[in-house]
Amino acid sequence: MDNVYQTSLYKKYRGAVIIAIDLIIVFCSYVLVFLAGNNFFLNGGFLHFTKLIIFGMIFVLVLHLISELFFKQHKSLWTYTGPRDIIRSFYSFLFCVVIMSFFSHTMHVFKIQTFVAAECVAFVLQMGIRIAYRYMHSYLENVDRTTKALIIGAGNGGYLMLNEIYRNNKYPYHVIGFLDDFKSKGTIVSGKKVLGTIDEVSEIVEQYNVKQLFISITNATDAQKQRIIELCANTSCNTKIMRFSLENENEVSVDDISIEDLLNRHSIDLKTEEIGSYLENKVVCVTGAGGSIGSELCRQIVKFNPSKLIMVDINENSLYMLKQEFLRNQRNHIMNEKIEMESLIISIREREDIFKLMEKYHPEVVYHAAAHKHVPLMEDRPMEAIRNNVFGTKNVIDASMKYGVKRFIMISTDKAVNPTNVMGATKRMTELILQSRKCNGDIKMAAVRFGNVLGSNGSVIPIFKEQIKQGGPVTVTDYNIQRYFMTIPEAAQLVLQAGYYAQHREIFVLDMGKPVKILDLAEKMIRLAGKVPYKDIEIQEIGLRPGEKMFEELALEIEKCHKTDNNLIFVHERMDISQDDIDQKLKVLDDTIEKTDDIYEIKDILMKVIQ
């Protein structure tokens, strides 16, 4: 049956067929009521078709055609017939009754009781056929609904979720009821009982052998949502959450619990007028534009209508896909069509190419996000980390200063604080380069430090998801290791905000909130996938990787900083660093990586030059 629905013939003529069926029902209803009113002519009478009766019937059918098109009854899907369709159909018939009541006094075709009865019969038949089709369709699909599910929230969201489950083959579940804190136990919602409060979820899951939970609450606060997710995570049921559109709460999607839901990151209060003051109608360049942070920076930047966005990366695939995303948004009028875009495959290590880029496009704002970031890989190839992160960054800074860039913002990391690994040490070196540059004050430069970004390429979250999907084991480097986390949009937005505060080569530090124990995170993700940690999926400790810390030191750094106008952004005062000293250290690094491939010697020199 589903194959029929996919045919072009069905899609093209479906509306016309529904209109024809509805008009036939109306015609038959009038004939039936007319015959019933004349006792089906069993008394020997005869049916005489007069012009008035014929024109009256044509008038009725045309009126119903107009009403059907106006109320869009022909567009509704019979498979999903529900209360809204019934109400819309009722309004359509009511409209016809009102119009016909007005004309009946002048045309005298039908008695009022005749057409009211006929309209009622037609309404019942139309709705009956639709509902019968819905149940027949469900029966023929033969969905196995033996797995029990429970819906958290018995309000509008819960009602929508219940309908979505029974209308959609994606959710082959038998809903046993609802949990709600504001509706009494035993209350019936669309045929399903409220079984208790949300705090009782563990007991009810065990009592009824529930395997699937759906969180469907439209107006929960962040704190309430976090409490509900925590309660669901303790049940080892697979858990999904219904998300509602901000514009229309009837537009919904049903998703897995995301890591953002688990960590309950708060929304950011951005001062858009401040960010817009240095981005609007400006030429903006983003290096590393194809990466997790770089691409999100681009997405946030275009909201402020720059005149041109220059996206630079060495990864052609990610850069191509990002530009295609923006072109699609421009075609769909989601993004300003006047924004010019350039996608350039350039390595920041190629000094000449970077200078040519700055000379040709003269960007006014540069966000430098290009870097090698994976700690274990950089431990194995420290010379590559130095060439890319250190000398590549120097290329971008030097070119920006030479060709009149007004604002230069560099992405740094919490690993630059007292670094114990190559990646952190190279990022600390880039901070020293930035703070040591002699500039005439025309360019405002700053670095922004933050911790781990949720869902970025190679981060722990997608690795855990894949390990859970494969049935385990989930691996953690140490059972006690902790990390700070921030979402990609959150980090990008704060970088834009910090860019406004940039003046004299400061280092900004983002408040990452409370550190998260990685073991706790792994256990929650396993439970929300419907598995039991250490029983269904093992968690194995594999040992710290080379250069890895147990605890990052971002919080200690914040204590040494001053607050900005934004409570989530702190600033280090600029240090007095000699450009000659830093340039001398850069020469030592350059000489070292040119003369030796000994990774231990290179690491030793790197750690010494950042002291």
pLDDT on residue 311: 96
Average pLDDT over residues 495-500: 89
pLDDT on residue 57: 83
pLDDT on residue 282: 95
Task: Round to whole Å and give the CA distance between 365 and 149.
Answer: 52
Task: Round to whole Å and give the CA distance between 159 and 175.
Answer: 12
State the catalytic residue, choosing from 240, 323, 415, 444: 415
Q: What is the pTM of this model?
A: 0.69
Task: Round to whole Å and give the CA distance between 305 and 516.
Answer: 36
Domain 272-453+485-514+554-609 annotated CATH 3.40.50.720:
yes
Higher pLDDT, 106 or 28: 28
Residue 558 reports pLDDT greater than 60: no
Q: Which tens digit of pLDDT belongs to each residue from 191-228?
A: 889 999 999 999 999 999 999 999 988 777 777 888 88
pLDDT on residue 409: 94
C-beta neighbour count of 128 within 10 angstroms: 11
pLDDT on residue 152: 92
CA contacts within 13 A on the Cβ side of 464? 25
Comparing 147-257 with 272-453+485-514+554-609, is the CATH topology the same?
A: yes
Task: Round to whole Å and give the CA distance between 151 and 190.
Answer: 12
Residue 25 reports pLDDT greater than 60: yes
Pick the CATH number of 147-257 from 3.40.50.920, 3.30.700.30, 3.40.50.720, 3.50.50.60: 3.40.50.720
E-strand ranges in 61-219 read: 147-152, 173-179, 188-189, 192-196, 212-215
Residue 325 reports pLDDT greater than 80: yes
Query: 138: pLDDT confidence band, cut at 50, 70 and 90?
Result: low
DSSP 433-460: HHHH----SSSEEEEEE--EEET-TT-H
pLDDT on residue 54: 80
Task: Please list, in sequence order, all residues whose beta carbon lies within 8 angstroms of the beta carbon of residue 58, skipping any fewer than 6 positions away.
Answer: none
Task: Round to whole Å and give the CA distance between 358 and 396.
Answer: 9
Q: What's the CA dihedral at 227, 232, 236, 238 to 10 degrees?
A: -130
Average pLDDT over residues 219-240: 83
Average pLDDT of the residues of the chain? 84
Q: Which tens digit of pLDDT belongs to each residue from 398-446?
A: 999 999 999 999 999 888 888 889 999 999 999 999 989 887 668 999 9
Q: Is 415 a catalytic residue?
A: yes
- Domain residue ranges in the chain: 2-141, 147-257, 272-453+485-514+554-609
Residue 1 reports pLDDT greater than 60: no
Average pLDDT over residues 260-281: 78
pLDDT on residue 177: 93
pLDDT on residue 455: 63
